Amino acid sequence: MDADYVNATPQPSREELVDKYFNQLPVKPSYAGPLIGLIGGGVLILLGLASIVGASQGSSGGNTGFGCLGCLGLLGGLGAAIPSATNLLSRYTTYTAAMKLAFPRASDEWMEQWLRQGMELAADNGRRRLNRHAEEVSFKWGVDMLVFTGLPPDSVFPIRMTKGRDGVLRASHYKILVAYLSHYRLSTYECVLEMRSGMTLTDGTKEYHLQSVDGLETFSDRVNFALQPGMAAQPQNAPHLLDSTGKVIHVTMLQVLRLMVAGRPAISLVMGIASADQLHVDGVSNSQTESMIHSLREYLRSHNGAMTGMPMTFLPNQLPPNIPPQPRIGE
């Protein structure tokens, strides 16, 4: 069976591939114990039958005793073989059912490609919705069109998360923030992308005069997320986290980007979850995300003389009330 896909007819849909991507990868069970019991029971059954047949061909008392031992061997063999066979069949059927739930599944490369397509769709939708022209914005990725991805509030969207084989933390829903940078205003487009369908579920635009933008803040907070296979994330109550392979991972950092306008938070985005092994939920590498944050920070500095810098704030226990709700286990 292929590591990433299972050939199927008809071709599985994107919805099925994405759904199964977040299901747990089954671990092949050990059949050694049941097989030993089954073989041992079979040997006892054969010996018992042979003893009974041999005893039936004679009439002496010794043959009668030999026949009794044969009956005991037959019963003992059946007592060992039947439970072993049942156990073996149960393990096989359970593993087969789990394989059907996990395959065919999308590969990490396909998930990255679909997320990238969603980001391109968001950038194009925002350009049309905001009616921005090339005279204002050149629409160069990473220059004057910055595309961030993160997690939407899960109070509305049942977020499912898992760790791919490439070590990247992926979600079933993404919040995409596109910032269009011009010389006199900051325009943004926000949407929620559903990975199953590739459609945007909600979207909206915002525009701010650059003189009204006070600053850019990034927050980090220590949060534990329970990433049990096939379920959404749940903070604070599960220090041991399971990815799709059934292994334990520890996610402890929540990174949030916040834009301040007229002294109030205008845009908040859970842009990444990092851990000791550097897991992220964004669609680009951590270095690219940091580069875009740096570009946005420098852009705001250069267009607002009153802005002297954006603080990196560390929160001791919990995020402020204006930060989007942290993911928790869905229904």
DSSP string for 156-169: TS---EEE-TTS-E
Q: Scanning the structure block, which residue is given the tokens 């977040």?
A: 22
Token pair, residue 299, equals: 């852009």
d(CA 252, CA 223): 5
**pLDDT on residue 241:** 40
The confidence score (pLDDT) of residue 62 equals 55
pLDDT in tens, 135-193: 888 899 888 999 998 888 777 888 888 888 887 888 899 999 999 998 888 999 999 99
Q: Does residue 6 contact residue 104 with C-beta atoms inside 8 Å?
A: yes
* Both tokens assigned to 188: 């943004």
Q: What is the pLDDT of residue 166?
A: 84
Which DSSP letter does residue 282 get? Answer: S
Return the sign of the alpha-carbon dihedral for residues 61, 66, 69, 70: negative
Spatial neighbors of 98 by CB under 8 A, at least 6 apart, are 24, 26
Measure the N-to-C terminal CA separation of the chain; round to a whole number of Å: 32
Collapsed DSSP state (helix, strand, coil) of residue 123? helix
What is the rounded CA–CA span in Å between residue 135 and residue 187?
A: 15
pLDDT at position 294: 87
What per-residue confidence (pLDDT) applies to 287?
64
Counting DSSP H helices and E strands in the chain, the numbers are: 5, 12
Phi then psi dihedrals of residue 271, to 5 deg? -95, -10
pTM of the model: 0.72
Q: Give the burial class of 8: count Cβ atoms within 10 A of its Cβ; 0-12 exposed, 13-18 middle, 19 or more buried.
A: exposed
What's the rounded Cα separation, in Å, for the pair 131 and 201?
21
pLDDT of residue 161: 84
Q: Which of 132, 182, 218, 206 is nearest to 302 (CA)?
A: 182
pLDDT of residue 159: 85
Residue given tokens 């096939």 in the structure block: 230
Domain boundaries, the chain: 32-102, 108-314
Q: Which of 261, 168, 163 is closest to 217 using CA atoms? A: 261
Contact 159, 327 (CB under 8 A): yes
Residues of the chain with pLDDT under 50: 1-3, 5-8, 223-252, 274-280, 282, 306-331
Q: What pLDDT is stored for residue 113 in this prediction?
A: 95
pLDDT digits (tens, 9 = 90+) for 106-116: 999 999 999 99
Q: What share of the chain is helix, strand, coil (3-state, %, to 5)?
A: 35, 25, 40
